[in-house]
Structure 1
Amino acid sequence: MPLDAPRRFIGSALVAVGLVASTHTAAVASPVTLAADASVTVAALPSSTTFTQLSGLPQDTDTYGKLSGVVVHPGRTVAVYAQAGGKPVATLPATQLGSQTWVPVVEARKGWYRVLLPSKPNHVTGWVKAAGLKKARSRYRAIVSLGTKKLTVMNASKKVGTWSVAVGGPETPTPVGRTFLLALMSPKDKAAYSPLIMPLGTHSTTLDTFGGGPGTVAFHGWPDPKVFGQAITHGCIRVPAPALKVLAKLPLGTPVLVTP
């Protein structure tokens, strides 16, 4: 769950997450070909979602580097490899949190892409085969400066807007580095604190769980404008209504950079 979700929203969000989880469970029995001479079920490998922790995969070492904007989407569950041509160690589902899974490319080789993954630990990456993936490019970037407590959205070299935001407090800081827009969620509770929640592909570094969820960091609104410009959240980034409208129009997989 997003780190700042008040209890009145958590129930509705958990229902939505439960539906997503049920869909994945139903798909477990479907065989997925992971190598030329092997076919296994999805259940044999961990699924790369915001709820899972993976091991044996490479880290993103260019933490503050500018991503190209190239994003890919698996039309069905695909295998994730620690190295191109190696053995599969996880899978990447076609959907999660009610949205299509779009992940940014950090490295490309012939027939392969290394992508940022939404699982723990933060900055985990994996290789996926290019064949069968949908490919697109996002011209947008969202940049969050923890020092100035500002959010800037760029469209290529053009600034779309800059806004004061609330970021993580000293004991629950917003994690730094490059990540991406993972999903777009609408609370079922119309009286919720934000009309939209935009989970990112990163998690709190100090909270293992929050409100029954995995401590996923998210963009979301907040009803009290006094919070903007302060470091007071549990790690999420609270944004004013105009910024929320802009973020909601960005393609999934759009790069997000959080700087100190």
Structure 2
Amino acid sequence: MATMTALRNRAITVSALVPAAALLLAGCGGGPGRGSAAEPSGGPSTGAAAKAAADDAAVPEATTFTTVEGAPADAGRDAADGLVVHPPKPLPVHDRPGGRRVATLPTEQLGGPTWVPVVESSGGWLRVLLPSRPNRASGWIPGDGLRTARTPYLVTVDLGDRRLTLHESGKAVGRWRVAIGAAATPTPTGRTFVMAQLAPKDKKLVLPLGAHSDTLDTFGGGPGTVALHGWHDPSVFGRAATHGCVRVPDDALRKLSRVPLGTLVLIND
């Protein structure tokens, strides 16, 4: 099982992530957009390799840029046990244990490693949250051969109070007033997770989540990914003023930078 320090240290690759960060930042704090309607190990035979390639081509990769049709919706609102997993090779994602394949879970997200939270298990199968549309998409992956870790952290965002709370080992270790989505572009609710850490040059850290705007299909050239990020004007905190992202104070951002990838984020009404 990976240590949390190692997991955090693998989260940021600044030079590789600048283009992705710029794209996603455009979807968090720039001008308004308009709504608009991916290597197997070992030595498989040629036939098996061809079938695997055909299966991969028939379904999308589960990333922030894709929509996964047929993915079971996650209706959960509670914290899980902190188990997060990383696929060392692309994995098939199914709609139920042993069921229909709906996606491929790649090894990377936005230039960093894929870590997703486990929210349910059945036999040797794990149900994980996906970073794709639609919001709250999940899927079942085989549990063998995964890298695993446990994060002690949980992030909760209470939209009614406009407050973010960071929990560590079940205890609140920070609570801040934040800015949330405006009425026309609300922050989506439900369980999601910290998908990546982006550190673009001369900009503050951005933590994209596995969630998207419910009202904007695209934003500023990006896919409408919701993120936790800082903001230059502190007067915004406590207001419903964003295009769906959660803007946080600098102190919150510093503490959130220690949160490992895959950590659950619960966004409540």
Q: How far off is 1:75 after superposition?
A: 0.8
Segments of 4+ moved more than 6 angstroms? none
Contact conserved, 1:47 with 1:93, CA < 8 A, in 2? yes
**What is residue 230 of structure 2 aligned with on the other side?**
221
Cα deviation, 1:78-111, whole Å, max 9, x if unaligned, reads: 1101111123221000101121111111111221
Q: How many residues align?
A: 233
User: Unpaired runs of 5+ in structure 2?
Assistant: 1-23, 32-37
Q: 2-side partners of 1:150 and 1:87: how far apart?
A: 39
* Partner SS state of residue 66, structure 1: coil
1:44 and 2:58 are equivalent in the alignment: yes
**What is residue 139 of structure 2 aligned with on the other side?**
126
Q: 1:183 aligns with which of 193, 196, 206?
A: 196
**What is residue 157 of structure 1 aligned with on the other side?**
170
Q: How far off is 1:240 after superposition?
A: 0.5
User: Unpaired runs of 5+ in structure 1?
Assistant: 8-23
TM-score under structure 1 length normalisation: 0.84
* Partner SS state of residue 62, structure 2: coil
The 1:6/1:32 distance shift into structure 2, 3 A limit, reads farther
1:85 and 2:107 are equivalent in the alignment: no
TM-score under structure 2 length normalisation: 0.82
Q: 1:57 aligns with which of 71, 83, 91?
A: 71
* Partner SS state of residue 78, structure 2: coil
Matched-pair identity in %: 51
Between 1 and 2, higher relative CO (CA 8 Å, sep ≥ 6) is seen in 2
* Partner SS state of residue 120, structure 2: strand
Q: 2-side partners of 1:230 and 1:32: how far apart?
A: 56
Q: Which amino acid aligns with 2:51?
A: S
- Whichever structure has more strand as a proportion of its residues is 1
* Partner SS state of residue 40, structure 1: helix
Q: How far off is 1:45 after superposition?
A: 2.0
* Partner SS state of residue 251, structure 2: helix
